[in-house]
């Protein structure tokens, strides 16, 4: 709490750049067309830390350049000499890749869930009833798969969906859960739940409400459809839901 208060006066030099703060995590986002570069913004952050008698942990500081999947369309900017440039980085429990793929994230999630399967096998061998196993499965494994799933489920390839579904199918086969889950159903439920909550509160990320004097058939929402210049934009949560529930 004290750090959050002290960090309240930390701002970017350029209005085009964005500082994302959460607890003691600070993330700097600099677009390619920004009028102030990453190196200058990073120096500004370090200077602020020195002024406030704080230490910037360079070893934990990473630089990631988000780009299009096609390598021919990628021009890597000059990196900061003291900071390691990586192709994937973890942010609040999600592993982001520079191409916006989620292979690494899914791999990490399935690896963690597979390790927890051994604990469920131990409970099964000890005679724990299936409905109690289902509770443990939901708490330790399903919750990990569901974690902020609306942010990344739209970007999953058919191969990644198949990997998750194969794991869920094995869990059901071994008797660890009472229902056969699929990643599609899990993602759909999470999308509907979050989108309905946002729509009820008139969330600022939603597009303006469409004004019409015509009495048309009821739809999933009354918001205007945003302009999407790329397929990747359409896969993001808000845009995906606006187009799906129209």
Asked if 63 and 124 sit in the same domain, the reply is no
Q: In this model, does residue 1 exceed pLDDT 90?
A: no
Band (7; pLDDT cuts 50, 70, 90)? confident
Percent share of the chain, pLDDT over 90:
50
Mean pLDDT of the chain: 86
In this structure, the answer to whether residues 107 and 80 fall within a common structural domain is: no
pLDDT of residue 216: 59
Asked if residue 209 is part of any domain, the answer here is no
Q: What is the pTM of this model?
A: 0.82
Which of the pair, 11 or 217, is modelled with greater confidence? 11
State how far the alpha carbon of 80 is from the alpha carbons of 57, 86, 106, 160, 238, in Å: 14, 12, 29, 33, 33
- Is 18 in the same domain as 77? yes
Residue 66 belongs to some domain of the structure: yes
Using the 3D structure, point to which of 61, 86, 111 is the last residue of a domain.
86
**Relative orientation angle of helices 130-137 and 103-125, to the nearest 10 degrees:** 150
Average pLDDT over residues 145-158: 93
Count how many domains the chain has: 2
Tell me how far CA of residue 207 lies from CA of 16, 141, 220, in angstroms: 21, 35, 14
Q: Tokens in use for 179?
A: 């229902």
What is the domain range of residue 136?
103-186
164 found inside a domain: yes
C-beta neighbour count of 11 within 10 angstroms? 12
Domain check: are 70 and 133 in the same one? no
Which among 86, 112, 140 is the end of a domain? 86
Q: What is the pLDDT at residue 32?
A: 84
- Last residue in a domain, options 53, 86, 119: 86
């Amino acid at each position: 709490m004290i750090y959050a208060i002290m960090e309240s006066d930390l701002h970017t030099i350029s209005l085009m750049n964005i500082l994302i703060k959460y607890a003691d995590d600070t993330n700097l986002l600099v677009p390619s067309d920004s009028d102030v570069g990453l190196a200058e913004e990073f120096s500004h952050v370090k200077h602020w830390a020195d002024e406030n008698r704080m230490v910037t942990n360079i070893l934990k500081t990473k630089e990631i350049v988000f780009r299009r999947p096609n390598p021919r369309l990628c021009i890597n900017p000059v990196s900061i000499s003291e900071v390691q440039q990586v192709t994937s980085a973890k942010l609040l429990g999600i592993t982001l890749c520079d191409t916006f793929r989620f292979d690494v994230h899914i791999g990490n999630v399935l690896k963690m869930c597979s390790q927890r399967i051994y604990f469920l096998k131990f409970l099964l061998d000890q005679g724990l009833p299936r409905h109690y196993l289902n509770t443990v499965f939901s708490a330790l494994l399903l919750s990990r798969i569901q974690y902020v799933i609306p942010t990344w489920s739209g970007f999953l390839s058919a191969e990644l969906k198949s990997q998750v579904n194969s794991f869920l199918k094995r869990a059901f086969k071994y008797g660890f859960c009472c229902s056969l889950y699929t990643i599609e159903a899990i993602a759909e439920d999470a999308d509907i739940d979050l989108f309905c909550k946002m729509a009820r509160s008139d969330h600022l990320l939603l597009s303006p409400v469409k004004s019409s004097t015509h009495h048309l058939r009821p739809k999933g929402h009354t918001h205007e459809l945003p302009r999407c210049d790329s397929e990747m934009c359409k896969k993001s949560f808000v845009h995906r839901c606006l187009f799906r529930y129209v």
